[in-house]
Amino acid sequence: MNVQDIIEKILSENIDCLYLQVENESFRHAVPVNSETHFKVTVVSEQFSGKLLIARHRLINELLSTQLAGPVHALAMHTYTPEQWAQKGNISPLSADCMGGGK
């Protein structure tokens, strides 16, 4: 199972997601081809209602602690309640290309 699939599995099994998207953004960074080091997750859940952004991110960091200690170098998190997601037009922000690593 690749890292992206593992992240999806862990999040979907531990958070009641109304929407979950895990994107491997390693290609935007100065890493070898086919790397699995940089990810963006977008999670929409009622579980986030009443929780500060930092609490939502801590939950995801705890769930993915093994991956963050190993193959994952960077994780962009976009965590929304259903209402916030609707206000965003059901679209997560685009990620910027890496500016480091000799690019």
- Domain annotation covers residue 80: yes
Q: What is the average pLDDT value for the chain, to the nearest integer? A: 90
- Domain annotation covers residue 19: yes
- Does the pLDDT value for residue 101 go beyond 60? no
- Does the pLDDT value for residue 82 go beyond 90? yes
- Domain annotation covers residue 98: no
- Does the pLDDT value for residue 19 go beyond 60? yes
- Domain annotation covers residue 94: no
Q: What is the pLDDT of residue 30?
A: 65
- Helices (runs of H) and strands (runs of E) counted in the chain: 4, 3
Range of the structural domain that residue 29 is part of: 3-87
DSSP-derived pairing of the beta strands 74-80 and 38-45? parallel
pLDDT band for position 74 (cuts 50, 70, 90): confident
CATH of the domain at 23: 3.30.300.90
Which pTM does this prediction carry? Answer: 0.88
| Burial state string for 71-97 with b = 16 or more CB within 10 A and e = fewer than 16 | ebeebebbbbbeeebeeeeeebeebee
Q: What is the pLDDT of residue 81?
A: 98
> How many domains are contained in the chain?
1
